[in-house]
Structure 1
Amino acid sequence: MPVTLKDISQRVGKSVPTVSRALAGFEDISPKTREMVQRVAAEMGYEPNITARNLQKQRTDTLALILPSANTLRFSDPFFSEFLSGIVEYIAQFGYDLNISSTDSEDERNTYLKHLRSRRFDGFIVVRTQRQDARIDLLREHDVPFVAFGQTEDDNDFHLVDEDGRYGVRQVVDHLVELGHTRLACIAEPTNLTKSQHRVEGFIEGLAAHNIPFDPTLVVETHFRQRSGRQAANLLLDRAELPTALVACNDLLALGAMRAVQERGLRVGQDISVTGFDDILLSEYANPALTTVHQPASKMGSLVAQMLLNQIDGKPIEQKQVIIKPSIIIRKSTGVPTIKGGE
């Protein structure tokens, strides 16, 4: 039989309300009594009733993360897995759980409304932010704690963590131009996502900084996975005038692009340079190792979690918006071009 408050009260000779308040740490109970009650409870193997405790404090100790769509974000995505680990490891220290569910884009609003009405969550984490994001509008309308991993196109007056994607891709373009590349192509994720749009803008800005004309036909918008990168790279490599560098907007796309280059008998890093973004573990062990943009996925997850818990607890938050500057990691997948466009 589980140990009850009544069992403890009989052992210590105190009333049930006194035992309850002592275990909860209320200051109107003397330190001596609190210490005695908590010690005896531990000795007896008492386990608190979590449901009752949460009802009392109007908390659930659970956060919600609703995946935008089964087709756009997967646990097999190495960057997302690291980001998720950062969230879970941080909130576990404070006794919180993370509830992860998914939704179809067509039913996204109703999914959020269902979660809001259930009152089972203390706060929400929004990922894969869109340039026009109805999820964020809905959460602001209901005035519930939330933190977004990413920005929107309009009013970003909410708590968020993001990377400076424009800056990251500009570093890539600078690196490639320094090597002698002048015909660069970009493989982009769907540009309805803010992060993808920012990375494409960084590509365009990088070209402009070096007085290289922007050719919109050298930007291919695709999905997120290796297969998409391979398909997009093949479209670019089918052109009469061959690009000498492929700038992919995530590492999985870059790995797919490398496969396409190698299948044509071309050498990655010599005939065609390929770059990625995220610096997932696979990028270091690719053949050749992938030049990419590093961003600390686990740390960013921890920052999102910390910001959300502080918001829930009403603690001051020094920065409402944290934008991390990523850094380029140069490896063997980029080099001086040995062929000219068109050959």
Structure 2
Amino acid sequence: MRLTIRDVAKKLNLSITTVSRALDGYADVANDTRKLVIETAREMGYTPNRAARQLRRQKAETIGFILPAHARRFDEPFFAEFIAGLGNELSGKNFDLLVSNAADDEMEHRLYQRWVSSRKVDGFILNRVSQKDWRVQFLAREGIPFAALGMSQDGLNYPHIRIDGLEGFVELVRHLQQGGFSRFAFIGGRENLINHIDRLGWFKAALAVCGLPFDQGLVFSSDMTSTGGYEVARRLFALPRGPDALLCISDETAFGALHAAHERGLTVGRDIAIAGFEGVQDSRHTEPPLTTLDIPVEKIARQLVTMLLAKLNGETLERDEIVIHPTLLIRASTGG
């Protein structure tokens, strides 16, 4: 016969309500009592009925992540590592992760609206945040908690992790300058993306710090895929006076640029320097290995989960913003 919560309550001589609230983690149950209930339930082999708990608490115990419409694919290394971090952290907190993707902006809007109206998830994790981000505005208006990698310019406060890569860009440009590279190009993303705005800003500032000229004609946008990086790099290499160093908004974009350089017959690290951003695992194994500004992608995803769950539990966050400084990993793609 399957054990029930009544059996646990009877063994401890506690009310069913107390045992239920202890197992659900309510703060009005004393810590000693909660520990005793959890330990006894485990020893007895009792597993709470999750569906019943969700109904009692009126929570889905699920967090949503929708791959941005412009991101294209789940198998991009960044998203693979990011989603793994979300899932690993949530599973340890007895939450599920609901993931989907959208073919276009209209479908992305519909997904958010459907998940919110059906209460399919308790909150969302966002990334690839835009300057004015409709997701931020929509979720704030609907009262749905969320945490994000990146801070939009909507004038709203929410838990987020912000990357500050200025020092890393200065270090990277100095490294390239010392290697004899002097004509720098930047392959970015969509112009309204915070990633693009920030990283292009750091690129300009780093050139200024190192006494190098900035050429707007060597700044190109891409869709941040390897295909986009390949296409833009080919255009740059075809210029009458092209660059000898490419700094890319992401490692994925840099992978495409590497392919274009090989196709052109250029020796990467000597004829052309190529660097990425994010430090995904695959950047170690390109030919040659890719210099990159490394951020701990999986750790960032886990931290966003921690921030969001604290928000869901009504806890006061010590701070709404965590700042990450990238680490420069010098490899052969820049002559390192």
TM range (shorter): 0.7 to 0.9
CA distance in 2, matches of 1:152, 1:334: 32
What per-residue deviation string (whole Å, max 9, x for no partner) do you get for residues 208-230 of structure 1? 22333322111111112222212
The amino acid that maps onto 1:130 is S
The amino acid that maps onto 1:97 is D
Query: What is the Cα deviation at residue 312 of structure 1?
Result: 0.8
Does the 8 Å contact 2:62/2:123 carry over to 1? yes
More displaced 10-residue stretch of structure 1: 118-127 or 287-296: 118-127
Query: What is the Cα deviation at residue 119 of structure 1?
Result: 1.9
Question: Which residue of 1 is the match for residue 57 of structure 2?
Answer: 57
Query: What is the Cα deviation at residue 158 of structure 1?
Result: 1.6
**Secondary structure at the counterpart of residue 239 of structure 1:** coil
Query: Aligned pairs, how many?
Result: 330
More displaced 10-residue stretch of structure 1: 312-321 or 293-302: 312-321
Query: What is the Cα deviation at residue 169 of structure 1?
Result: 3.1
- Structure 1's 139 and 201: CA in aligned 2 closer, same or farther, altered over 3 A? same
The amino acid that maps onto 2:134 is A
What per-residue deviation string (whole Å, max 9, x for no partner) do you get for residues 271-326 of structure 1? 11111111112211222211110100111011101100111111221120112011
**Secondary structure at the counterpart of residue 317 of structure 2:** coil
Does the 8 Å contact 2:5/2:19 carry over to 1? no
Query: What is the Cα deviation at residue 102 of structure 1?
Result: 2.4
- Structure 1's 238 and 111: CA in aligned 2 closer, same or farther, altered over 3 A? same
Question: Which residue of 2 is the match for residue 282 of structure 1?
Answer: 282
The amino acid that maps onto 2:93 is F
- Structure 1's 167 and 197: CA in aligned 2 closer, same or farther, altered over 3 A? farther
For structure 2, the residue ranges without an aligned partner over 5 or more in a row are: none
Query: What is the Cα deviation at residue 166 of structure 1?
Result: 4.2
More displaced 10-residue stretch of structure 1: 255-264 or 71-80: 71-80
- Mapping of 1:213-232 within 5 angstroms? 213-232=213-232
* Corresponding position: 1:121 with 2:121: yes
TM-score when scaled to structure 1? 0.86
Question: Which residue of 2 is the match for residue 234 of structure 1?
Answer: 234
Question: Which residue of 2 is the match for residue 22 of structure 1?
Answer: 19
For structure 1, the residue ranges without an aligned partner over 5 or more in a row are: 337-343
What per-residue deviation string (whole Å, max 9, x for no partner) do you get for residues 151-190 of structure 1? 2134252211121244443332232223232211111122
CA distance in 1, matches of 2:257, 2:285: 15
Question: Which residue of 2 is the match for residue 76 of structure 1?
Answer: 75
CA distance in 2, matches of 1:206, 1:176: 11
Query: What is the Cα deviation at residue 93 of structure 1?
Result: 1.8
CA distance in 2, matches of 1:98, 1:303: 15
- Structure 1's 286 and 102: CA in aligned 2 closer, same or farther, altered over 3 A? closer
CA distance in 2, matches of 1:13, 1:326: 52
Question: Which residue of 1 is the match for residue 155 of structure 2?
Answer: 155
**Secondary structure at the counterpart of residue 276 of structure 1:** strand
TM-score when scaled to structure 2? 0.88
Query: What is the Cα deviation at residue 135 of structure 1?
Result: 0.6
Question: Which residue of 1 is the match for residue 86 of structure 2?
Answer: 87
Question: Which residue of 2 is the match for residue 341 of structure 1?
Answer: none
- Structure 1's 306 and 327: CA in aligned 2 closer, same or farther, altered over 3 A? same
Question: Which residue of 2 is the match for residue 323 of structure 1?
Answer: 323
Does the 8 Å contact 2:62/2:98 carry over to 1? yes
More displaced 10-residue stretch of structure 1: 300-309 or 247-256: 247-256
Query: What is the Cα deviation at residue 13 of structure 1?
Result: 11
CA distance in 2, matches of 1:46, 1:302: 29
CA distance in 2, matches of 1:153, 1:22: 45
CA distance in 2, matches of 1:28, 1:195: 44
CA distance in 1, matches of 2:201, 2:98: 34
CA distance in 2, matches of 1:34, 1:287: 53
**Secondary structure at the counterpart of residue 277 of structure 2:** coil
Does the 8 Å contact 2:62/2:97 carry over to 1? yes
Does the 8 Å contact 1:251/1:283 carry over to 2? yes
CA distance in 2, matches of 1:88, 1:37: 24
**Secondary structure at the counterpart of residue 302 of structure 1:** helix
CA distance in 2, matches of 1:36, 1:162: 40
CA distance in 2, matches of 1:145, 1:202: 31
CA distance in 1, matches of 2:68, 2:96: 20
CA distance in 1, matches of 2:38, 2:128: 47
Query: What is the Cα deviation at residue 123 of structure 1?
Result: 1.4
CA distance in 1, matches of 2:274, 2:33: 67
Does the 8 Å contact 1:165/1:195 carry over to 2? no
Question: Which residue of 1 is the match for residue 99 of structure 2?
Answer: 100
CA distance in 1, matches of 2:200, 2:210: 16
Does the 8 Å contact 2:159/2:320 carry over to 1? yes
CA distance in 1, matches of 2:42, 2:157: 46
**Secondary structure at the counterpart of residue 48 of structure 1:** coil
The amino acid that maps onto 1:126 is L
- Structure 1's 12 and 201: CA in aligned 2 closer, same or farther, altered over 3 A? closer
- Structure 1's 13 and 78: CA in aligned 2 closer, same or farther, altered over 3 A? closer
CA distance in 1, matches of 2:60, 2:243: 54
Query: What is the Cα deviation at residue 8 of structure 1?
Result: 6.7
The amino acid that maps onto 2:78 is F
CA distance in 1, matches of 2:34, 2:187: 66
